[in-house]
Structure 1
Amino acid sequence: MASCLHAPMAYTIPSSASSQSVRRPKALTLSCRAFGSKSAAKIPMPPINPKDPFLSKLASVATSSPETLLNRPVNPDTPPYLDLFESPTLMATPAQVERSVSYNEHRPRRPPPDLPSLLLHGRIVYIGMPLVPAVTELVVAELMYLQWMDPKQPIYLYINSTGTTRDDGETVGMETEGFAIYDALMNLQNEIHTVAVGAAIGQACLLLSAGTKGKRFMMPHAKAMIQQPRIPSSGLMPASDVLIRAKEVIINRDILVELLAKHTGNSVETVASAMKRPFYMDASRAKEFGVIDKILWRGQEKVMAEVAAPEEWDKNAGIKVVDGF
């Protein structure tokens, strides 16, 4: 242990041996009696780190009042010079480290935006609920905003929706909810890349097929389904009102058939015949029907392209096709 304390600063200290002052230009030699030693050897001090609060405080005290560092009592139970601080802290607690500025300097000062806003930043619009008025309002607003931001960049529309009904067939929204989103898509200048994840049923299937040709995709295990619109619960309505609603549903059905025929490339009769009952389609069947253009399965198209035709398999296996079977 060092027998003396030296601070890297000039100070005039009265000598204990004579009344003359001795100037120490590079180091301040304090009396070794502070450590209980009789020797007065000088130990060169390294430069003080200005960011070290302990050494900075010690140097400040040595400059302003060096007498506080002289003739200090030796207390083996207390670390030396720690009493110079009013409230010394040996180690920061984990909570203090967590709240420290240096630790959290990159943490946002404000709460992050909601998830739809984050997706919107990547030009992604996600429909993950039945088409109720609140969903329609948000989706149409996002589409208009993205076109206003950049009318040339594509918009990615991800769909996982049961349309205007629930999975059990109960009506939760009017058909106009789906038509509103469809009309908004048709009025956009941007390319629309549609992707089906999970399910695209009824009006949601129409939105899936309404994407830009060649940019309509489907996950390998997603499902698409087209069906006739349903009449909302009539309850205690008069018979005349029920008839009016039935006529409106028929009109909506005809519009839905025409739009699906337009985007799938099928005839109106083909689509109407398929919609007589719920018509479910997996990814491959939806591609054949014209709802989508590609299946988003990494490497699948390359693998399927290398698969031989059934006749080639039979020929290589030595199987002969018998007429009548």
Structure 2
Amino acid sequence: MAAPAHVETSYNEHRPRKPPPDLPSLLLNSRIVYVGMPLVPAVTELVIAELLYLQYSDPTLPIYMYINSTGTSRADGETVGMETEGFAIHDTMQLVKNEIHTVGVGAAIGQACLLLAAGTKGKRYMLPHATAMIQQPRMPSMGQMPAIDLHLRAKEVIHNRDTLVELLAEHTGNPVEKVAKVMRRPYYMSPKKAMDFGVVDKILWRGQEAMGETLSPEQWDKRAGIRAVERPMTYGAGTSGLG
């Protein structure tokens, strides 16, 4: 009979000698940068580091950036990051020598929509059921901040708004006046609408470029063989609608 020590040694031989890499590292090996959270400082730090690393490893190969982010705010509208977080990633995208292919998956809201539009022209995509939205920067809660500080913060928010308008106009090919007008209220865009506005160039479906086809989500579902079934509303016994 083998001694317990011998059995344990044999078992250890089948264990990994080092822990497996984390998922972002595995994606990085395929030159994929995934922005899947609001743009808080920790996310900004990671995304910029990945962009710089991929340029260092090979400045001739493209970088693939997948975006599903609510920008500098959460889904409920609460501000979680400074607008400069989005500008920092945007400027790094323009700095690196690589082509950057952007893909909107899920949602690209606010500053995340800017990142989607900032990809290499002709290489900006959305999935058929993704959503893009541009909006004005939001001022976070100021608490007991003195009036003069409130005034300075408001001026900074207006400056960031103007910068965002100018950058979106540059990347979408729209006049500044048009971008400023639609941004007065949240401006939601389906993939077709985002193409018309110049945020993206093509719709991506099952790994294939849609070559500029502007189908509605329902038409994409029909092409994929997905059929929505409408069920009639029923009431329980003894009920009468309005009660």
TM range (shorter): 0.7 to 0.9
| Aligned residue number for residue 28 of structure 2 | 120
| Aligned residue number for residue 145 of structure 1 | 53
Shift of 1:284: 0.7
Normalising to structure 2: TM-score of the pair? Answer: 0.81
Normalising to structure 1: TM-score of the pair? Answer: 0.61
- C-alpha distance in 1, partners of 2:12/2:196? 60
- In structure 1, list runs of 5 or more residues that go unmatched: 1-86, 89-94, 307-325
| Aligned residue number for residue 263 of structure 1 | 171
| Aligned residue number for residue 62 of structure 2 | 154
| Aligned residue number for residue 87 of structure 2 | 179
| Aligned residue number for residue 103 of structure 2 | 195
* Structure 1 pair 245–295 and aligned structure 2 pair: CA distance change class (3 A): same
- C-alpha distance in 2, partners of 1:170/1:100? 49
Show CA shifts across 1:200-244 (max 9, x none): 000000000000000001111111000000111111111111111
- C-alpha distance in 2, partners of 1:281/1:201? 10
* Structure 1 pair 239–214 and aligned structure 2 pair: CA distance change class (3 A): same
| Aligned residue number for residue 60 of structure 1 | none
- C-alpha distance in 2, partners of 1:226/1:181? 17
| Aligned residue number for residue 288 of structure 1 | 196
Q: Indicate the SS of the match to 1:255.
A: helix
Shift of 1:303: 11
- In structure 2, list runs of 5 or more residues that go unmatched: 216-243
- C-alpha distance in 2, partners of 1:148/1:124? 15
- Tell me the C-alpha RMSD between the 2 structures: 2.3
- C-alpha distance in 2, partners of 1:290/1:303? 12
Q: Indicate the SS of the match to 2:205.
A: coil
* Structure 1 pair 188–302 and aligned structure 2 pair: CA distance change class (3 A): closer
Shift of 1:269: 0.6
Q: Indicate the SS of the match to 1:296.
A: strand
Q: Indicate the SS of the match to 2:74.
A: coil
Residue type of the alignment partner of 1:233: S
Aligned 1:216-231 pairs, distance under 5 A? 216-231=124-139
Higher relative contact order (CA closer than 8 Å, sequence separation 6+) = 2
Q: Indicate the SS of the match to 1:135.
A: helix
Identity of aligned residues (%): 69
Show CA shifts across 1:181-205 (max 9, x none): 0110000100000011111000000
- C-alpha distance in 2, partners of 1:150/1:269? 39
Residue 235 (structure 1) aligned with residue 143 (structure 2): yes
Show CA shifts across 1:255-291 (max 9, x none): 0000000000100011000100000001111011000
Residue type of the alignment partner of 1:216: R
Show CA shifts across 1:89-145 (max 9, x none): xxxxxx99x9385xx4xx632110111111111101111100000001111111000
Q: Indicate the SS of the match to 2:185.
A: coil
* Structure 1 pair 286–122 and aligned structure 2 pair: CA distance change class (3 A): same
Residue 99 (structure 1) aligned with residue 11 (structure 2): yes
Q: Indicate the SS of the match to 1:147.
A: helix
Shift of 1:179: 0.5
Tell me the number of residue pairs that the alignment of Structure 1 and Structure 2 aligns.
210
